[in-house]
Amino acid sequence: MTMIEYVRSRSMPLPLVYNRLALEWMGVVSSMLKIYDTYSSIFYKALMMLLQEDGVSSKENPYMRMLNIMDAMLDEELKSERFAHLLTDYLDSWLSIHAMLKRIYPVRHYDIMLEDILAEQFRSYTRMLSFMLSTQNLPIDASGYDVVYIKGKVRLLHYRGGKGYPILIVYAMINRYHIMDVSKDKSVIRRLIEGGLDVYMLDWGHMGYEDEHLSLEDYIHILDEVVDKVREVSSKDRISMLGYCWGGIVSLIYASLYKQKLNSLIVMAAPVDFDKDDGILAVWAKAIDARRLVEEYGHMNGQALDIAFLLRNPVRYTVMKYLNLWKRINDRAFVETFYAVERWLYNTPTVPGRFYEQIIEDLYKGNMLVRGLLEVDGKRVDLKSIDIPLLTIVAENDDLTAPASTLAVNDHVSSKEKRVMSIPGGHVGLCISSIAHKQLWPNVARWVIEKARESSIEEANGRSVGGGKENQG
């Protein structure tokens, strides 16, 4: 059946349908042109400012100077109310087109096909890059592990060679965990193992259309099962947990409900007080209608997120990084790390719709986590109930999660032991920068061990006191 026959079978007036579609399509095109004009205008203004500047040091690279000017302009404009309206106008028109098509014709299979094509484009890019850089045999994981738990797409990885106190890394759901183990020299996993820890990783996997119903509650249930599995394998009653980015959000919620299973909690570059997260992506997230997007598509497409990451600063995140690669093309370690990061960057999984909607609407917009209004399974999530040792890790120049948003966690928990560790650099630099591997991760391992030992001593003293009272009785 053709589209026209399908519409007629439902007695829908074709002229009205076509007129509405045409108007909404004009809205999409108009918004796209305005967005394009915003970026091109900033590029032009930055170039003109560079050409008109007097007194710029001859030692300063003109290209870098122009990038710095563009950075400031983009940061101001892309966070503006005007640009937020452009985005919402574009998205509203696009969703309206999708809604009309969905009413008159089954478009689900076309959505799947288009998303598969987009994903294949990113895969083709990484395959081409691998061929050009001769990195075809570079492994995805630098460290060996055993899979000790599987539930649907979710796996629990137990890394070989670890010993001592167990730590569970809860990675974000909007990326894959590989950045924590990107190469032999840049492996957070190896640094923690070398520091004397028994390391576990929660791999959320690649969610698909069949997982769109998964909610925040489902993620908490899975995390609880994983924690119990780590306790079983390690033969420890309590473990340490490290939550990175959105994984930190889930870790905080879990700790408020099940703190008795944890020795300590590490929150790493995770948004906590969303009113203080003024990054570009946070501003965009607060502007869009997540409920309507999920209603139409059922999920947030991973490749759409990739494009959003690039749009924060297209020149810096495309041209600039390839110029850096060209300058260091003979540095084999740099080249392999560059490719491994690119492969990780463009392997973004789909985010289940219900979960995505809760994170955007309840947290980014409602800030319900720190306001004490969030509920999971009918239980109120109270950050004040968290009194276990807390370590907060931030990157000083993080443009994905504002450091102030992460650091705010210390104002909302009851922990007596609160420590902050920070390094220069950005969000991903926490995993791959030299200073992170030389200073940050050895210090993190020492802190985890110290808190685990203190917890063991407290438990032993508690048992001794309890035993004494029983004997006196």
**Using one digit for the tens of pLDDT, what is the confidence trace for 312-335?**
999 888 888 998 899 999 999 999
Q: How far is CA 96 from CA 26, 352, 354, in A?
A: 12, 21, 20
Same domain, yes or no, for 272 and 398?
A: yes
Contact between 249 and 271 under an 8 Å Cβ cutoff? The reply is yes
Residue 30 lies inside a defined structural domain of this protein: yes
Same domain, yes or no, for 9 and 79?
A: yes
Contact between 6 and 108 under an 8 Å Cβ cutoff? The reply is no
Query: Which pTM does this prediction carry?
Result: 0.90
Separation of alpha carbons 293 and 282, rounded Å:
17
Q: How far is CA 186 from CA 156, 159, 163, 448, in A?
A: 21, 16, 20, 20
User: At which of 76, 106, 136 does a domain end?
Assistant: 106
Residue 401 lies inside a defined structural domain of this protein: yes
Same domain, yes or no, for 80 and 178?
A: no
Report pLDDT for 468.
44
Report pLDDT for 368.
97
Residue 431: exposure state from Cβ atoms within 10 A (0-12, 13-18, ≥19): buried
Residue 129: count other Cβ atoms within 10 Å of its Cβ.
17
Name the domain count of the chain: 2
Report pLDDT for 16.
67
User: At which of 54, 80, 106 does a domain end?
Assistant: 106
Residue 294 lies inside a defined structural domain of this protein: no
Strand, coil or helix: 396? coil
Report pLDDT for 462.
66
Of 462 and 428, the one with more pLDDT? 428
> Lowest-confidence range among 32-41, 63-72, 186-195, 345-354?
63-72
Residue 124 lies inside a defined structural domain of this protein: no
Report pLDDT for 350.
94
Residue 468 CA neighbour count, 13 Å, CB half: 6
Same domain, yes or no, for 94 and 150?
A: no
| CATH number assigned to the domain comprising residue 416 | 3.40.50.1820
- As a whole number, mean pLDDT of residues 449-463 equals 81
Separation of alpha carbons 87 and 452, rounded Å:
47
Angle at 323 between CA 322 and CA 328, to 5 degrees: 95
| Bridge-based pairing state of the strands 239-244 and 379-380 | unpaired
Contact between 69 and 46 under an 8 Å Cβ cutoff? The reply is yes
Same domain, yes or no, for 101 and 149?
A: no
Same domain, yes or no, for 361 and 456?
A: yes
Q: Which residue among the candidates 245, 273, 412, 431 is catalytic per the annotation?
A: 245
Same domain, yes or no, for 102 and 208?
A: no
Q: Which residue among the candidates 98, 299, 398, 431 is catalytic per the annotation?
A: 398
Separation of alpha carbons 336 and 331, rounded Å:
9
Residue 25: count other Cβ atoms within 10 Å of its Cβ.
14
pLDDT of residue 76 exceeding 70, the answer is: yes
- Tokens 């050409």 belong to 51
Residue 249 lies inside a defined structural domain of this protein: yes
- As a whole number, mean pLDDT of residues 353-371 equals 97
Residue 307 lies inside a defined structural domain of this protein: no
Q: Which domain holds residue 90?
A: 1-106
Of 469 and 244, the one with more pLDDT? 244
Same domain, yes or no, for 20 and 149?
A: no
Same domain, yes or no, for 80 and 177?
A: no
Report the percent of the chain where pLDDT is more than 90: 75
Strand, coil or helix: 91? helix
Same domain, yes or no, for 150 and 100?
A: no
SS3 content of the chain, % helix, strand, coil (to 5): 60, 15, 25
pLDDT digits (tens, 9 = 90+) for 230-256: 999 999 999 999 999 999 999 999 999
Report pLDDT for 270.
97
Separation of alpha carbons 276 and 371, rounded Å:
13
Residue 336: count other Cβ atoms within 10 Å of its Cβ.
19
pLDDT digits (tens, 9 = 90+) for 94-104: 999 998 888 77
| Annotation says 111 is catalytic | no
| Annotation says 431 is catalytic | no
The number of angstroms, rounded, from the C-alpha of 55 to the middle of its chain's C-alpha atoms is 41
Tell me the Cα Rg of the chain.
Answer: 25
Contact between 165 and 235 under an 8 Å Cβ cutoff? The reply is no
| Bridge-based pairing state of the strands 262-268 and 390-395 | parallel
Contact between 20 and 13 under an 8 Å Cβ cutoff? The reply is no
| Annotation says 398 is catalytic | yes
Residue 4 lies inside a defined structural domain of this protein: yes
Same domain, yes or no, for 99 and 185?
A: no
Same domain, yes or no, for 97 and 157?
A: no
Separation of alpha carbons 123 and 134, rounded Å:
16
Residue-averaged pLDDT of the chain: 90
Dihedral over Cα of 114, 119, 123, 125: its sign: positive
Residue 302 lies inside a defined structural domain of this protein: no
Q: Which residue among the candidates 158, 178, 412, 427 is catalytic per the annotation?
A: 427
Separation of alpha carbons 35 and 272, rounded Å:
30
Report pLDDT for 1.
42
Report pLDDT for 472.
34
